[in-house]
Structures are given as structure tokens and as C-alpha cells.
Structure 1
Amino acid sequence: MATQFKLKRWQDQLILLLGLWLIVSPWVYSYPQGSQQMINAVVSGLVIAVLAAFDLYKTYFWAVVVNLLVGVWVAVSPWVLRLAEQSTLMWNSVIVGIAVAVLALWELRTDPELHKHWPGAAA
């Protein structure tokens, strides 16, 4: 049963790790203390990590959709928060954001519990 659980929720495990990375990345990359970029990374990382951890226990469609949306936000935030000129920080956000969004979308499309919530899906 535990192996089945792990295989079923592998996307959530990766999303959790990406959220945790996003939380610590401001210190790894020396973001300016208290900057918008730092706050964005920590808050977005917390939301991603908490929802992924929650999804490991019990999956809800809305939680995966929120992680998908936060992933998209993280990917575009360097341009909104004027971080794009700092290459390392920009690529960190873009890669993490796209990875979270892709994994969440993958989970939405392949998890039988979630797939039934898609418009037009058979009940």
C-alpha cells in the first residue's frame, strides 16, 4: 500500500521539494533582505509546499489547481517584479515555476481522482 501511495503521488513529492527549494533559494542566491523578490519566493514556496504536503495526505482538485496557478505566477514573476535582469534569479523562478505548473497539470490529467473534475470528463 505504501509503495502504491508513493507511486501515485510522485508529482506531489516533487512539487513539495520544489516549494521547499523556493523557500530557501533567497538565502542561497542572496536576494536582498525584505525585497519583493524574497517575499515572493518565500510566500509562493510556502503555498506550493503546504498544498503539496496536503495533497500527499488527501488530494483535492482545487489544491492542485492553486499549485498550478502559483507555478505559473512564479514563472512570470521575474518580469512583473523586475527580476529578469538578474539571470540566475530569473532562471530559478522560471524553471521552478514551469516545473510546478507542468507537474500539477500532469497530476490533474492522469490522477483518476482528479481527472473526473475536468469539464466533459466521464463521471
Structure 2
Amino acid sequence: MTGARKNRTGARAGSAIDQAEHQLKALKALRTAYQVTSRALSDEIDRARNDLDRIGDLGARLRWLDERHSLVRSALVGGPAYADYLCGDCTDLPQVRSLAETAAKLARRGADVPTTLNMLNYIDHELGWAQGAP
């Protein structure tokens, strides 16, 4: 017999493990992206000292990032079942991971925070999570 082993349902053995691995890698990349982007946004808030409207806008975005970061952190601590619940609707976790890594790189360079936030918002939609960034 050649090819991958199949389990009782006909699915390739190990596919659940592969999926769990993709979920873990995507969530770790997202955690990093949220952390780095939060720092970049905090720096933006510091620079906008006298512009109260800008501070309010950036603060709302920072709050959104913090909520998402908490969600991802809980999934990483909660284990595979929780990660599967959060990532269950996403069909392309490697793309999510790649986008999260790109967002983190942009944020590290301090480049274009709005673009970084848009990328994270897109990831939000890919994962099927409710309510996007402000």
C-alpha cells in the first residue's frame, strides 16, 4: 500500500496534527504581531501628546489590539481545543501566519501603522472573528 494512511473517516492520518501545528504557528505569529504593533501604537500616542482627537483614535485601536492579544494568548494557553475553536473557520492558516509575520515586521520598523492595523484587521476577518478594528 502506498500513500498516506487513512483513519476510519477516510481523512489522512496526521491531518489533525498538521492543522493543529498550523494553528499554533499562526497564533504565535499573531501574538507577536499584536505585541509589536501595540508598542508602535504606544509610541504614536506618545508623539501625539497635544492632539487629543488623535490620542483618542489611537487609544481605541490600542484597546482593540489588546483585546485580540488577550484572545490569542488565551488560545495558546488554553490548548488545542481552544485554538481549534478560534481558528476553525479559517481555511488558509499559513497565509494568516505569513500576514501576521509581515505585520510584525512593518510594526518593528515603525513603518505605516495604519497599514499594519489593516493587515491585522484582514486576518481578523480571515479567522471569522467578529468586529474589526476601529
TM-score of the pair, normalised by structure 2:
0.43
- Whose Rg is larger? 2
Q: Which has the higher helix share?
A: 1
